[in-house]
Amino acid sequence: MSPHLVALEAIVTREALRFVHQRERFVAALVRPLVWLVVFAAGFRAALGLSITPPYETYIAYEVYIVPGLCGMIQLFNGMQSSLSLVYDREMGSMRLLLTSPLPRGWLLFCKLAAGAAIGVIQVYAFLGLAAAFGIVMPWEGYLLAAPALAITGLMLGALGLLLSSFIRQLENFAGVMNFVIFPMFFLSTALYPLWKMAESSPLLRDLCALNPFSHAVELIRFALYAKPNPEALGWTLLALAVFAGLALRGYDPARGLIGRKA
């Protein structure tokens, strides 16, 4: 077997075993969006007056509208938690040992991203199964087409977490950084309400939501779940993935990046 495939298998297996042994992480990943889906959706729907979503030109419940946004929430938190493990591995020395491998650094970081994205996809499908139990069902072909969309958005959000982990020296500082990134990205997006609703409230908020890469990730998931193409969201998500991954690779380069300057 190729050394690159051996490294990919080893890193994915390690992350999978870590995830299996952290059952609380899996439960928390499902409870968080379920609370939004069951408890907060009714209040938001009544307050915002949402009964129609123009992209689909059909009347649907607000709970159905926010399901893709909650899928993005799962991936966002998973990407940040994966980067938290990177900070821990760097403090313990295992990350430094990994980066001293003769394999290209970019491939090793991609393996970490792929492992985190795979775990995020599993969590999302578990949530979609629970949502279906509550009667919130998507078109059957949407569940199939959502897989590549979830993989791309998971890699993009994981690359963002990887970039953030290159800035953080100590594990204790990560919680503040997570809150500073997660909540603005989530609330200033189309996860909970459509863009046209934000425009009615404030043009500035609408522009911030439109510039937010998480909004494009959510729209990519949303249209995929409804088995409809969205080339614009796909393009912006891939662009964000390339930018975040490039900056993260530079950050983990000991010759030029932040890791080297800290050492």
The per-residue pLDDT for 48 is 53
Chain-wide mean pLDDT for the chain?
A: 78
d(CA 150, CA 63) in angstroms, rounded, equals 19
**Cα–chain-centroid distance for residue 96?**
25
Closest CA relative to residue 78, chosen from 120, 21, 130:
120
At residue 138, does pLDDT exceed 80? yes
Which has more pLDDT, 57 or 7? 7
pLDDT value at residue 3: 77
Banded model confidence at residue 27, pLDDT cuts 50, 70, 90: confident
pLDDT, position 257: 46
- Give pLDDT, residue 8: 79
Q: Is the pLDDT of residue 57 over 80?
A: no
Percent of the residues in the chain that have a pLDDT greater than 90, as a whole number: 22
- Return the pLDDT at 254: 62
The predicted model gives 164-182 an average pLDDT of 72
Angle at 246 between CA 215 and CA 252, to 5 degrees: 120
> Are 89 and 211 within 8 A, CB to CB?
no
Residue 45: pLDDT band by 50, 70, 90 thresholds?
low
| For the ranges 2-16, 49-63, 106-120, 144-158, the one whose mean pLDDT is highest | 144-158
pLDDT of amino acid 46: 56
108-to-11, 12, 100, 167, 250 alpha-carbon distances in Å: 8, 11, 10, 19, 13
Mean pLDDT of 14-42: 74
What radius of gyration, in Å, describes the C-alpha atoms of the chain? 19
Looking at per-residue confidence, does 229 or 39 come out higher?
Answer: 229
pTM: 0.82
